[in-house]
Amino acid sequence: MSSSRDYGRAMRLPDSPHRPGDEQPGAGGLPPTVVDCALYEDGRRLSGPVDLTTVLQRIDPKAGRFAWIGLYEPSTEQFREIAEAFDLHPLAVEDAVHAHQRPKLERFGDILLLVLKTIVYVEHEAITATSEIVDTGEIMVFAGPGFAITVRHGSAPPLTAVRHRLEQDPHQLARGPAGVLYAVADMVVDRYMDVADAFAGDVDQLESEVFSPDHPVDAARIYQLKRELLEFKRAVVPLSNPMQRLGERSLVQIPAEVTNYLRDVADHQQQVAEQIAGFDELVSGMLNASIAQLGVRQNSDIRRISSGAALIAVPTMIVGIYGMNFEHMPELGWTYGYPAVIAVIATLCTLIYRAFRRNKWL
């Protein structure tokens, strides 16, 4: 364990209580990948220097003492010592390091790995053909005997608030690693609900524009909204099965009292999934309506062009006939021949125009 001790010294924290800023990478003199490392007993954070060696010596699930290590985008080398110390499965380590996983729940012996996709709503003034509406990240939670390890990637929000809230609630924190897993999942799903509410505003705004006769909407804007919705859907919908499993009391790693809370998280996740399904139908309907409106506008334009061509065809035909160089044609020598032809042309054009107007072609 000499390498573990060396790494443990690198992970040493100052002898002070948890500070809100500690959930930022590299805070408190930590390596850039480690955001916090703490020991908890009976729902309270233990003071004193904490390194990997101390963690391994002091964790005791039976005594209610466990460690929570937070990491941000660790490399394979940076994560190897922790993986070896806690006997993490190589496949789980690969998932934690490389990320880009779909939401899932894996069981490796007595260790659970929950992969969560996080969603961040990107503020924007209006939806364009290139607007970014949501940004995704990942959080992996390892929950095992006496330890919880959280690994964040990308735009996944810091877990400062989660850790602080748990430390203010010793009863919840006393539930150990399962309590940490619940708190992280609850935070992620709560953010889903916030993003869904913001997304609803975008959908409503674009829907009102689509069905406004004065402001035709470019189909590219609707398609972009649908693409961003698909990104949201990929984060939320696959989580249904893992959350259902966590709430079934079939996993020995999850105490019965924690499964009650996890079922509540699963209900909220299902609620967001249903909202997304509704958004998807609305956006698909908007896209179809926009395409139909485009077809209607094109047909209307064609009718107008055809009507104009018909109006022009009458005088063109008459003038063309009288423009032929024949010696014997009706009324060539009549004094009122020219005004009569103009009157015939005007009368015919007026009748055709009124017919088109009556049929709403013009």
Distance CA 324, CA 202 (A): 65
Six-digit token pair at 143? 């929950």
Six-digit token pair at 128? 């364009």
Residue 103 half-sphere exposure toward CB, CA atoms < 13 A: 25
Residue 137 has a pLDDT of: 93
Query: Which residues of the chain, if any, have pLDDT below 70?
Result: 1-32, 49, 213-216, 292-298, 301, 325-328, 331, 362
In one letter, which amino acid is 323? G
pTM of the predicted model over 0.85: no
Give the number of residues written for the chain.
362
Nearest to 162 by CA among 48, 70, 263: 70
Distance CA 236, CA 194 (A): 13
- φ, ψ for residue 118 (rounded to 5)? -95, 150
Residue 241 has a pLDDT of: 93
| Longest alpha-carbon distance in the chain | 122
Six-digit token pair at 182? 């619940």
* Residue 103, CA distances (Å) to 34, 100, 140, 148, 227 in order: 23, 10, 9, 18, 19
Residue 140 half-sphere exposure toward CB, CA atoms < 13 A: 27
Distance CA 35, CA 23 (A): 5
Which residues, in sequence order, are bridge partners of residue 151?
71, 140
303: left (phi over 0), alpha (psi -120 to 50) or beta: alpha
Residue 360 has a pLDDT of: 73
Domains and CATH numbers, the chain: 2-292 (3.30.460.20), 306-358 (1.20.58)
